[in-house]
Amino acid sequence: MPTFVVGDVHGHVEPLVRLLRDAGLVDERIAWSGADARLWFIGDLVDRGPDGVGALDLVMRLEREGDVRCLLGNHEAGLVAAYRYPAVECGVPGVTFGMVWEANGGVASDLARLRPEHLAWIERLPAVAQEGDRLLVHSDTDGYLRYGGDVASICAEVSRTVAGDDVVALDGLLETLADRSAFVEPDRLDRLLGALGCERVVHGHTPIWYATGIAPTDATAPLVYAGGRATNVDHCLFAGGPGFITEL
């Protein structure tokens, strides 16, 4: 069974559809055509781009049509926080969840179009997943281990946090998911992989141009680093990157 991963979409539905068609995963009607392939979205479907809710709708539909799955990104969690607690202060006095969401690329039309079914779907998204010897995460952080010592425990606790009414816990999750660049530190990479029984990690969150200094338009393939143990698939779509789909 072939397994594919798509990096951060950030509301850019048109280039996403192009990538999926080019990979043979959807047809001209944008219906699933990937047969028995598995497709993972690494998270961050929303914010920074023109149609985050459209990206949610597309992935939710494809999930019903094929073996399509999506991780929770920090921007999905932030969107939920802004929707539920727009005027509630988060970790900094005078700064609200709504203000943080807007500063991080929140799009007003996404917030206005968000429906209960979107919220329920986001609440169920896994925080981490395992494919063979690979760990799939959105953010390049070892902070996931604050939520449990195995994949199932982490996913359950993060989902409880997103769906719950503890704003302090939600703020802590947003801070954890905002962390980045942990995997350039061997000890932190070892800690995460060792705890979860994996050999390699695949992540998004940190655009390849940010990590390397290349132009976004030159981000045409995943960034493999840490001696081959880490792969960054954030293809910089929101910054004008052409995008790519990675086969594991």
Say if 239 falls within a structural domain: yes
Say if 117 falls within a structural domain: yes
CATH number of domain containing 231: 3.60.21.10
What residues contact 99, with CB distance under 8 A and at least 6 apart? none
Say if 215 falls within a structural domain: yes
Please give the full DSSP string across 129-189, using - where no structure is assigned.
EEETTEEEESSS-SGGGGG-SSHHHHHHHHHHHHHSS-HHHHHHHHHHHH---GGGSHHHH
pLDDT of residue 242: 96
Say if 186 falls within a structural domain: no
pLDDT at 1 over 90: no
Quick one: CA dihedral 41, 46, 52, 54, positive or negative?
A: positive
Q: How many domains does the chain have?
A: 1
Mean pLDDT of 62-79: 98
Say if 164 falls within a structural domain: yes
**The model's pTM:** 0.96
Say if 194 falls within a structural domain: no
pLDDT at 91 over 90: no
Say if 207 falls within a structural domain: yes
Percent pLDDT > 70 in the chain is 100
pLDDT of residue 79: 98
pLDDT at 92 over 90: no
Say if 184 falls within a structural domain: no
Nearest one of 197, 194, 200 to 140, comparing CA atoms: 200
Q: Per-residue pLDDT tens for 127-174?
A: 999 999 999 999 999 999 999 999 999 999 999 999 999 999 999 999
200 band by pLDDT with thresholds 50, 70 and 90: very high
Domain assignment of residue 42, given as a range: 3-138+148-177+200-247
pLDDT of residue 210: 94
